[in-house]
């Protein structure tokens, strides 16, 4: 299959609600470019790129059309189904300018899907997300008008909202307070300054809304400024405008700079690059908003296909600031938990990532936790668990002593290790055998008044019930 013709079309997209306003900008319509790619197989692909005005990002509408005109001669005769190969061809003939390539790349994926009679989401990873959750933008207005608009959207069934701020800090604080006061159950909010706050204004807003339950989205222009604000905010941080490449994603992850990113297809250069960015976010465990700068049905279809093929998967810390509870292993990795630790005022317990003495040493050096969960089988048995326990006592680290699960035998081992641990360093333990009616051994720890005690007998003090255990799965002699 070969490309035979590339055409572009200019369309103005008017705003239903009169205007779309953020930061210091407001538009009644946006200029979008639609590209049509024809092939010798009779299959036609469509794509779209719509910069959000000429001053939001380094992109403008006329530039899309001019760039496609520049690229088109080099693409005639190429096979659009070979998405990575044709992207490399675009890169050879036009360095940078991903927002221009986005419309073409979208059209190439459209052709690929049509050529194999499959929706694009099947080619992007499969249907992992059958219904794509939407958010509504509360365009910047007076606080009362924004609350009125919120009520309309709530009545329509929306649950996720983006509060456009980035104006005067005092009014932005009023906007956030008024809208959060109108929250309905299940509503999730992000306050998005679209890079327009100066750092001192961002700090004022963060301080005035400390402990309120919302996401803080790209408060300042540069990554470095946002990272500085991140270190002072209790709200989860979303990075948007500065997340323009895989390099920036990796940098943000290494710096623990964000809890979520906004993935905009045309900013990254189309579905090919957006898919790579998306897949890394999934590998890193980073939550995503999948969208584009703006657009009509074509751009929205591309968003939907990428979102459909994305798995569904830290609002708690900000909402519960000052409440009296322990925060236990909130995230998968040690690095993620360490980032949360720096933003919460609850004592931190680390559990699943505490799988070796090396990790205990690392956690102590980073002041990453106030307590650890010692699981015997995760560490490799009583010998290793005793070594881990003894270091905790030496370091002054409080412990829960337990195991992943088990019956009377595993619980007896827990009890013996806990009995031999100084009481000042023992928080609690689990008696797993009380959770089941099946008894696999006699002599399990005795339970009363919320405590347990191991049998005063040699060894673990338990005798297996061989009639319950049944025949051996294998036996060697």
pLDDT of amino acid 184: 96
- Nearest Cα neighbor of 102 from 1, 217, 8 is 8
Angstrom distance (rounded) from CA 261 to CA 268: 13
- Nearest Cα neighbor of 366 from 335, 326, 343 is 335
> Do 35 and 18 form a contact (C-beta atoms < 8 A)?
no
> Do 164 and 192 form a contact (C-beta atoms < 8 A)?
yes
> Do 65 and 31 form a contact (C-beta atoms < 8 A)?
no
Catalytic residue list contains 264: yes
What average pLDDT score do residues 287-300 get? 93
What average pLDDT score do residues 149-174 get? 93
The yes-or-no verdict on residue 1 having pLDDT over 90 is: yes
| Structure-token pair, residue 269 | 């250069």
pLDDT of amino acid 315: 44
Q: Which residues pair with 161 in a beta bridge?
A: 136, 189
**Pick the catalytic residue: 164, 273, 375, 384?**
164
Angstrom distance (rounded) from CA 416 to CA 461: 10
Catalytic residue list contains 164: yes
Which architecture does CATH list for 357-469?
Alpha-Beta Barrel (3.20)
Q: Which residues pair with 170 in a beta bridge?
A: none
Mean pLDDT, the chain, integer: 91
What average pLDDT score do residues 43-54 get? 92
The yes-or-no verdict on residue 261 having pLDDT over 90 is: yes
Angstrom distance (rounded) from CA 231 to CA 257: 9
What average pLDDT score do residues 50-61 get? 87
Left, alpha or beta for 162 (phi > 0: left; psi -120 to 50: alpha)?
Answer: beta
- 141-150, 179-188, 447-456: least confident range: 447-456
Q: What pairing do the DSSP bridges indicate for beta strands 348-350 and 135-138? A: unpaired
**Burial of residue 450, with CB atoms counted within 10 A of its CB: 0-12 exposed, 13-18 middle, 19 or more buried:** exposed
Q: Which residues pair with 325 in a beta bridge?
A: none
**Burial of residue 259, with CB atoms counted within 10 A of its CB: 0-12 exposed, 13-18 middle, 19 or more buried:** buried
- Nearest Cα neighbor of 135 from 237, 214, 197, 252 is 214
The yes-or-no verdict on residue 76 having pLDDT over 90 is: yes
Q: pLDDT (tens digit, 9 = 90+) per residue, 86-115? A: 999 999 999 999 999 999 999 999 999 999
Angstrom distance (rounded) from CA 356 to CA 368: 15
Tally of CB atoms within 10 A around 348? 22
The yes-or-no verdict on residue 192 having pLDDT over 80 is: yes
The yes-or-no verdict on residue 319 having pLDDT over 70 is: no
Contacts of 95 (CB under 8 A, 6+ apart): none
- Place 317 in a pLDDT band, splitting at 50, 70 and 90: low
pTM for the full predicted model: 0.74
Please check whether the two domains, 135-316 and 357-469, share a CATH topology. yes
Q: What is the CATH class of 135-316?
A: alpha beta
pLDDT of amino acid 35: 93
Q: pLDDT (tens digit, 9 = 90+) per residue, 212-253? A: 999 999 999 999 999 999 988 889 899 999 999 999 999 999
- Place 19 in a pLDDT band, splitting at 50, 70 and 90: confident
Q: Which residue has the tokens 């055409």?
A: 7
Angstrom distance (rounded) from CA 176 to CA 196: 16
**Burial of residue 151, with CB atoms counted within 10 A of its CB: 0-12 exposed, 13-18 middle, 19 or more buried:** exposed
The yes-or-no verdict on residue 118 having pLDDT over 70 is: yes
> Do 276 and 246 form a contact (C-beta atoms < 8 A)?
yes
Spell out the domain ranges in the chain: 3-116, 135-316, 357-469
Distances (CA, A) of 182 to 148, 151, 163, 372: 9, 8, 13, 39
Homologous superfamily in CATH for domain 3-116: Enolase-like, N-terminal domain (3.30.390.10)
| Radius of gyration of the chain from its Cα atoms, rounded to whole angstroms | 28
pLDDT of amino acid 202: 93
The yes-or-no verdict on residue 316 having pLDDT over 80 is: no
Q: Which residues pair with 21 in a beta bridge?
A: 26
The yes-or-no verdict on residue 327 having pLDDT over 80 is: no
The yes-or-no verdict on residue 351 having pLDDT over 80 is: yes
pLDDT of amino acid 341: 83
The yes-or-no verdict on residue 314 having pLDDT over 50 is: no
pLDDT of amino acid 275: 96
The yes-or-no verdict on residue 430 having pLDDT over 60 is: yes
**Pick the catalytic residue: 16, 136, 231, 264?**
264
- Provide, rounded to the nearest whole percent, the portion of the chain with pLDDT above 70: 98
């Amino acid at each position: 299959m070969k490309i035979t013709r590339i055409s572009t079309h200019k369309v103005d997209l008017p705003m239903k609600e009169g205007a779309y306003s953020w930061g210091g900008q407001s538009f009644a319509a946006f200029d979008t470019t639609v590209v049509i790619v024809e092939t010798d197989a009779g299959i036609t692909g469509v794509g779209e790129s719509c910069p959000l005005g000429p001053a939001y990002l380094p992109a403008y509408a006329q530039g899309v059309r001019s760039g496609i005109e520049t690229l088109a001669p080099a693409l005639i005769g190429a096979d659009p189904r070979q998405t990575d190969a044709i992207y490399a061809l675009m890169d050879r003939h036009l360095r940078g300018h991903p927002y221009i390539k986005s419309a073409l790349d979208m059209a190439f994926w459209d052709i690929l899907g049509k050529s194999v009679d499959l929706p694009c989401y099947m080619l992007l990873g499969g249907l992992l997300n059958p219904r794509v959750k939407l958010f509504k933008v509360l365009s910047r207005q007076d606080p009362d008008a924004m609350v009125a608009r919120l009520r309309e959207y709530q009545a329509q069934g929306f649950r996720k909202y983006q509060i456009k701020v980035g104006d005067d800090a005092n009014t932005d604080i009023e906007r956030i307070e008024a809208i959060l006061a109108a929250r309905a159950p299940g509503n999730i909010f992000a306050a998005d300054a679209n890079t327009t706050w100066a750092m001192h204004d961002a700090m004022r807003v963060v301080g005035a809304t400390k402990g309120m339950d919302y996401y803080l989205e790209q408060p300042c222009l540069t990554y470095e400024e946002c990272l500085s604000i991140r270190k002072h905010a209790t709200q989860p941080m979303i990075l948007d405008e500065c997340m323009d490449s895989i390099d920036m994603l990796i940098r943000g992850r290494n710096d623990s700079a964000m809890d979520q990113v906004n993935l905009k297809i045309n900013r990254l250069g189309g579905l090919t690059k957006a898919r790579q960015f998306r897949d890394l976010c999934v590998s890193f465990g980073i939550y995503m908003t999948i969208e584009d700068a703006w657009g009509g049905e074509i751009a929205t279809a591309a968003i939907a296909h990428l979102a459909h093929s994305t798995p569904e998967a830290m609002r708690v810390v900000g909402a519960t600031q000052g409440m009296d509870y322990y925060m236990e292993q909130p995230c998968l990795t040690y690095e993620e938990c360490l980032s949360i630790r720096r933003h919460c005022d609850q004592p931190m317990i680390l559990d699943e990532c505490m799988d070796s003495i090396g990790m205990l040493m690392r956690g102590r050096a980073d002041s990453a936790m106030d307590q650890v969960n010692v699981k015997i089988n995760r560490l490799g048995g009583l010998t290793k668990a005793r070594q881990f326990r003894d270091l905790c006592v030496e370091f002054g680290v409080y412990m829960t002593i337990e195991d992943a699960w088990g019956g009377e035998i595993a619980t007896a081992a827990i009890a013996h290790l806990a009995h031999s641990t100084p009481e000042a360093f023992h928080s609690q333990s689990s008696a797993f055998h009380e959770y089941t009616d099946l008894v696999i051994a006699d002599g399990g720890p005795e339970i009363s008044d919320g405590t347990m005690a191991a049998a005063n007998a040699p060894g673990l003090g338990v005798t297996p019930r061989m009639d319950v255990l049944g025949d051996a799965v294998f036996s060697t002699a």
